[in-house]
Amino acid sequence: MSTVGDPAALLPPKVRRRPRIGLVAGGLGTYWPQFPNLLPQLQESSRYVSSRFEAMDAEVVDVGFISDAQEGATAAEQLRRADCDLIVLFLATYLTASMVLPVAQRAGAPVLVIDLQPTEKMDHASFDTGAWLAYCGQCPVPEVGNVFRRAGIDFRSVSGYLRQEAAWTRIERWIRAAHVRAALRTARHGLMGHLYPGMLDVSTDLTLLPTTFGSHVEVLELDDLRTRVDKVTDAEVVERLALARELFTVDDSVVEEDFVWGARVSVGLDRLVDDFALDTLAYYHRGLDGEQHERLGAGLILGASLLTARGIPTTGEYELRTTVAQLATHVSGAGGSFCEIQALNFEDGVVEMGHDGPAHLAVSARNPLLRGLGVFHGKRGWGVSVEFDVQPGPVTLLGLGQDRDGSLSFVASQGTVVPGPLLAIGNTTSRVDFGRDPGEWVDAWSATGTGHHWSLSVGARAADYRAAASLLGIDFREV
């Protein structure tokens, strides 16, 4: 047995480009000579907004304060060149829709409208017209919403006051959604091996991700991994074994030869991911009679779990779409482990779900266990698998569904992990209470267009994933 270490400290996270948030603040320039104190006050509010975005780990492209339609067009061109993941229009006081429509039309990114008045309420006894105008950011919101609808532009807005944390909670949801959009539109998805025979739902048109999100799919061979595993040194294997013992409890069922092989494959897998600059990897190989590729496939789980913990979802059964969902949940800060339905418990009213193979250590409730296996869930192979219980509390499932016309959708369901008996078979496992008859939940979930697998993430995150779907321009369905 071993002392388990902290995954965050031992596994360097994948570094990705921060989401790029374009910020445009504005008000009607007619007011500035009439009320000299108004513009400086609104500009100070805009600087505060920018600082809040930067605190959300976002790169802010602040194009300044616009006062008329010509300045709006100039801002639109600046933001078009910046290639933003989200444009935020801060309506600091009244402005005309003609000032912001060019930004929404030309900047090439989804738009969020915010209006944040200085405080909770006006001081009616002391306010003059100039002081009131600082509170008038809500005034043009219906105007802008109407024009966006007529222009075919999706309208999103958050209204509140400048230091209202409830408003900032709603705004931050959109910034987290921008994290997802940034990750998916720049992602490089590895696909290694071949389709699990007969799993038609897993099959994905390789043009679908580039055309929907802008991401890239890199088709890999098992030999791409084999040649890298062959070059792993014994010293590197010893180092990887030490890391595994820091992170996992090693069960007595683990065969030392299989453990050493899993460590060797893990080092080679890291090199594969680095060489192809991958953000995700989906794999499967059936194999026959213990040949080398089958042996490689059986040795992947340790390395795949370590990569997943670093923010590079690495998943079996050739599940390209599920690795996309796992990437989305991970960059949202919610982890994301490979998951499917295991069984239903009608007495306790829960759905038991999980999967053998790679797992996200961030969702574990206890010391993750390495268990030795001779058979992997209906697949031949030998080696070690990761086993743990999902931490109790709220969880959200996220699947990437596909419809008849090929269009993708985010499919989510919120539930609560509750304690109770779990299988000890080398799986990540959980008992999820969705607040309804488990059979009815399965029927509703299966009718959404999601596939066999999905990402299980921690927290009540459906609103975050709804926002991300909005920015990605795909449908959102919730059960």
Q: Which domains does the chain have, with CATH numbers?
A: 20-184 (3.40.50.10940), 187-478 (3.40.275.10)
Terminal-to-terminal C-alpha distance of the chain: 41
141 pLDDT above the threshold of 50 = yes
Q: Within 10 Å of residue 423's Cβ, how many Cβ atoms?
A: 12
Report the percent of the chain where pLDDT is more than 70. 94
**249-250 vs 369-376, strand pairing mode:** parallel
CA 254 to chain CA centroid, Å, is: 33
Better pLDDT: 472 or 386: 472
24-51 confidence digits (pLDDT tens): 999 999 999 999 999 999 999 999 999 9
Band (378; pLDDT cuts 50, 70, 90): very low
Question: Which of these, 303, 310, 282, lies nearest to 400 by C-alpha position?
Answer: 282
380 pLDDT above the threshold of 80 = no
Are 42 and 24 in contact by the 8 Å Cβ rule? The answer is no
Q: Which helix (H) or strand (E) holds 264?
A: helix 256-275
What CA–CA distance (Å, rounded) separates 396 from 332?
12
362 pLDDT above the threshold of 80 = no
Averaged pLDDT of the chain? 89
Band (274; pLDDT cuts 50, 70, 90): very high
**379-389 vs 393-402, strand pairing mode:** unpaired
Mean pLDDT of 298-309: 88
Res 122: pLDDT: 82
Band (1; pLDDT cuts 50, 70, 90): very low
57-106 confidence digits (pLDDT tens): 999 999 999 999 999 999 999 999 999 999 999 999 999 999 999 999 99
196-244 confidence digits (pLDDT tens): 877 877 778 888 999 999 999 999 999 999 999 999 999 999 999 999 8
Alpha helices in 55-159 (DSSP H): 69-82, 97-106, 129-133, 141-151
Q: How many residues belong to the chain?
A: 479
119 pLDDT above the threshold of 50 = yes
Burial bucket for residue 137 (CB in 10 Å: 0-12, 13-18, 19+): buried
pTM for this predicted structure: 0.89
At 260, which amino acid appears?
Answer: V
Beta strands in 233-366, from DSSP E residues, in sequence order? 249-250, 280-284, 314-315, 337-345, 350-356
